[in-house]
Structure 1
Amino acid sequence: MKKHFFWIVLTFFFMNVQAQKFDQLAQTPPMGWNSWNKFGCDVSEALIMEIADEMVRSGMKDAGYEYVVIDDCWQIGRDEDGEIIIDKERFPNGIKYLADYLHSKGLKLGIYSCAGKYTCAGRPGSRGYEFQDARTYARWGIDYLKYDWCYTTNEDAQSASSSIEHAISSYTTMSDALYAAGRPVVFSICEWGFQKPWKWAGEVGHLWRTYHDIKDRWAAVLEILDKQKGLEKYAGPGHWNDPDMLEVGNGGMTTEEYKAHFSLWCMLAAPLMAGNDIRDMSPEIKEILTNKELISINQDSLGSQGFCFLSSGDYEIWIKKLKNNERAICLFNRGEEIKNVRVDFENLLKVNSTYWKMEPHKLEDYIVRDLWEHKDLSVETNVKYIEIPPHSVKVFRYIHK
């Protein structure tokens, strides 16, 4: 009875979250690059400018990547007036200079702070300085804020309900501060999914982390992927589940694993924030990150997050609805052996959210496109056998004729 009452109270609390955010931003999942996965605290003005140049030169900007986000360690203290102090050795011309440079390239600048007293790397956070920091970001020309959750423990957050209230209050304060500052900023909530942000963060920010930090390991991708199942109903234009940044190209996985990682994030309508050194990409990694046919799945304006339709041992089928009654399917081999799977393309076209709720589509009205081979699939019959290598995917799109 107590547990039931607790969730009634929380549901009422979620329904009454009040915050202001810029509603017209992030109508599709944000795309960009973030410094943390590759560089950690080794960030600088020179690095960010070189990354911006390479985003344009490499074709990543043309593929849809637009935000360049400086993660932790750009800040070193506060002055006597409470103003945040930039590390001038690493950023000698200041953050506004970088913002102006990126804007001249047709890109946007993101920055990082934390809801606690300190950031995760021990630099000054924004707790108690939210409105001051938001005004500073607006003056600099910031377009995106990643807002972390380190050093947020306080005496009143001893129960589950008070912890959630503390999280909502902290993020709502910064959301309101950004709105009051007047410059449209995409607000990325990074509290790691502890307080079920998918239940409340849609009114506060534009995206929210759903689980722990990603690592450049296959097992980490699988662990995060499994935590996304069932969250699809919470995502849509302007409010996205965030399974964390991409590790594509950082060296800890194979090319096939990176293709699977990227494909699944596209199916999830996840923000696509690259995290590799794009100044030194192999052709294979560049091909993954700039696959416009996969990116079009991610950026589809319907804003539907893909769902896991079938999970059978190491084999899964993910389905993502697209505008104009189109859809994408991802056949995923999680395991260590090659799989030769039977695929009924007619049935997969008709599936809604469960096998038993079918839609009246006809396979003959569609072209089935292989999004990695970049060619149409021959489907004279409804059923085909598809071979999928270990740790790999096959991704198809149904396109209206």
Structure 2
Amino acid sequence: MKLLLISAVVAALCVASSVGLDNGLGRTPQMGFNTWNHFGCNINETIIRSTVDAMIDTGLTAVGYNYINLDDCWALNRTAAGVIVADPVAFPSGIAALASYVHSKGLLFGVYSDAGTKTCAGRPGSLGYEKIDAQTYASWGVDYLKYDNCNAPADQTPMVRYPVMRDALNATGRPIFFSMCEWGDYDPAKWAAPVGNSWRTTGDVSDSWSRIITILEANEPLWKAAGPGGWNDPDMLEVGNGVLSTTEYTSHFTLWALMKAPLIIGCDVTKMTNDTLRILTNTEVIEWNQDSLGIQGHRVKRGLLSEVWMAPLANGRFAVVLFNTDPLLSAHMTVTWAELGLTAGSKYTARDVWQHKNVGLYAGTFDAQVAPKGVVAVTLVPA
């Protein structure tokens, strides 16, 4: 009976009078910074201001990272009238003032809430307060809402609760990016396009190679659901958090970009290494992510310890990634035009987007030596 109810709700959403989240946002995947992966609940306005300044100084904002987002733990309680109140110790100037500071630097500002009675960290949730919260966020100048799914009533599915906040945000008249975070539990790729600008397809990422591989496996098959205005979200970037190697972080970033995932930085940008900055500011890889076609990259070939991924790009180009999943040994990998779905006999110049150079003219196949856990990533340009 529960499955029948869920199916009925999904069907109703598909024919609802609302034609979608018509806010004009998310034509390409969102890029920015979020506090959770590195700072957790240890956040305050000083950290945010320092982050903004560092992102500008390091050139991160210049390559497209424009959202500065608070995650859980910024809110403390509500007034008697139900208005959400920020933690006055962590944010003594208030959220509106912080948003104003972010805007003064030419960037956009986001907050976090939850489609339940409380957030995952036990702060006030928005269930039952959607309209007043949306109006409050708009009055503060908020540009982005990450909306989690903790502490929700068992008899109200995400398909019921998330559209309520969508409608409340739309009613404010302020375009606010709606990032849905229900962890993929109810298959949002099947129903979320009319509701949010992005939807989490998995549980939380962590700074773990095995976790990144698990998330890749879950997100890859959903590639047809993504497109301009709405994106599959396999969670934030772990690049720079210090556990994985530079090779692993490079692969992580490459595949997230190819999958048209939101590129949301999760490290402390005030303390980045040169390698971290080099990875995060690779404009050729970012260009894949922000390509106007908006087609999510997906796997086209799989061996025992090797994978080939591909995404069509604008102007007849193709992004191709040879991914060696062997943890110890390098591998010589080859992909044919037939496996990529390219026309037999066509010629392409391969540009290595990590070496930032053309590596040859290819007809029929592309091959390269790939390091363990590494990628060779090229843009194929019609010759």
- Shorter-chain TM-score: which interval? over 0.9
State the TM-score, normalizing by the size of structure 2. 0.95
Q: What's 1:360 paired with?
A: 343
1:377-396 to 2 correspondence within 5 Å?
377-379=359-361, 382-383=364-365, 385-396=367-378
CA change 1:241–1:125 in 2 (3 A) is same
Q: What's 1:217 paired with?
A: 208
Describe the superposition over 1:28-65 as per-residue Cα deviations: whole angstroms up to 9, x where unpaired: 00000000000000111111111111111101011110
Contact 1:17 1:200 in 2 (8 A): no
Q: What's 2:357 paired with?
A: 375
Q: Distance in 1 between matches of 2:115 and 2:228?
A: 25
Q: Are 1:310 and 2:304 an aligned pair?
A: no
CA change 1:8–1:210 in 2 (3 A) is closer
Please identify, of 301-310 and 3-12, the stretch whose mean Cα deviation from structure 2 is larger. Answer: 3-12
Shift of 1:360: 3.0
Shift of 1:98: 1.1
Contact 1:143 1:186 in 2 (8 A): yes
Shift of 1:88: 1.1
Q: What's 1:168 paired with?
A: 159
2:272 equivalent among 278, 281, 300: 281
Q: Distance in 1 between matches of 2:335 and 2:127?
A: 54
Q: How many residues get paired?
A: 382
Letter in 1 for 2:191: W
1:336-351 to 2 correspondence within 5 Å?
336-344=327-335, 346-347=337-338, 351=340
1:95-244 to 2 correspondence within 5 Å?
95-154=95-154, 156=155, 166-244=157-235
Describe the superposition over 1:260-290 as per-residue Cα deviations: whole angstroms up to 9, x where unpaired: 0000001100000000000010000000000
Q: Distance in 2 between matches of 1:18 and 1:149?
A: 25
Q: Distance in 2 between matches of 1:181 and 1:377?
A: 51
Q: What's 1:13 paired with?
A: 12
CA change 1:3–1:51 in 2 (3 A) is closer
Shift of 1:347: 3.9
Alignment partner of 1:316: what SS? strand
Shift of 1:12: 2.6
Contiguous gaps of at least 5 residues in structure 1: 158-165, 353-358
CA change 1:312–1:114 in 2 (3 A) is same
Shift of 1:361: 6.6
Shift of 1:398: 1.1
Alignment partner of 1:153: what SS? coil
CA change 1:185–1:215 in 2 (3 A) is same
Q: What's 2:88 paired with?
A: 88
CA change 1:131–1:332 in 2 (3 A) is same
RMSD: 1.9
Describe the superposition over 1:153-182 as per-residue Cα deviations: whole angstroms up to 9, x where unpaired: 33x35xxxxxxxx21121000000000011
CA change 1:221–1:144 in 2 (3 A) is same
> Would you identify which runs of 4 or more consecutive aligned residues in structure 1 move more than 2 Å?
2-14, 16-23, 337-342, 344-348, 359-364, 379-385
Q: Distance in 2 between matches of 1:179 and 1:27?
A: 17
Describe the superposition over 1:322-363 as per-residue Cα deviations: whole angstroms up to 9, x where unpaired: 111211001111122323324245445xx34xxxxxx43754
Contact 1:22 1:184 in 2 (8 A): no
Describe the superposition over 1:109-165 as per-residue Cα deviations: whole angstroms up to 9, x where unpaired: 0000000000000000101100000000000000000000000033x35xxxxxxxx
Q: What's 2:24 paired with?
A: 24
Contact 2:344 2:364 in 1 (8 A): no
